[in-house]
Amino acid sequence: MTVFPEPTAPADSRTEVFLRYLDYFRESMVAKVSALAEPELRRSRLPSGWTPLELLKHLRHVELRWIEWGFQGRNVVEPWGDRHQDRWYVAPDETRADLVAALRGQGAHTTEVVTAHDLAEVGAPGPRWNGADPASLERVLFHLVQEYARHLGHLDVVTELAGGPTGE
């Protein structure tokens, strides 16, 4: 697992701080999902009904939506590809390994984009913004960090209920 990015650890820039946190949260998600037994990956332990694999796929698409579709303004064929009939969805043939690889690949793309741009740079206009002015890269990264932190907390609870490891 990636080492927690302690607030006292020196960093060369705010960009580095954002990337450290995103890497930490992303790899913590992978570690939690990897620690679960196969049947737990597709089982929900919560009234809302989401499963650990659905959460993993969702986070990959969150990065896709905010970095590629949003900040970069790319044409993304299925920006909401983590959803089916208005809920998160993982097809029966999608595996943990496939979803982990997709999340890590999306993370690598995020790192490339973030390191190539200034945090104050504003995203490209496009459908992601729903008619609003595009956000700066820094605002997008704040959103991604909060999304990962919130969902990692959710997964911590589910992992504990499933008998998996607790804590960091």
Residue-wise pLDDT tens digits, 86-112: 999 999 999 999 999 999 999 999 999
Q: What domains are defined for the chain?
A: 23-161 (1.20.120.450)
| The amino acid at 136 | S
Taking CA atoms, 41 is separated from 51, 54, 134, in Å, by 6, 9, 36
Predicted pLDDT at 1: 54
Predicted pLDDT at 112: 98
126/123 Cα distance (integer angstroms)? 9
121 Cβ contact partners less than 8 Å away, ≥ 6 residues apart: 136, 137
Predicted pLDDT at 120: 98
61/79 Cα distance (integer angstroms)? 7
Q: What is the pLDDT tens value at each position of the chain, 168 positions in all?
A: 578 888 888 889 999 999 999 999 999 999 999 999 999 999 999 999 999 999 999 999 999 999 999 999 999 999 999 999 999 999 999 999 999 999 999 999 999 999 999 999 999 999 999 999 999 999 999 999 999 999 999 999 999 999 888 877
| pTM (2 d.p.) | 0.94
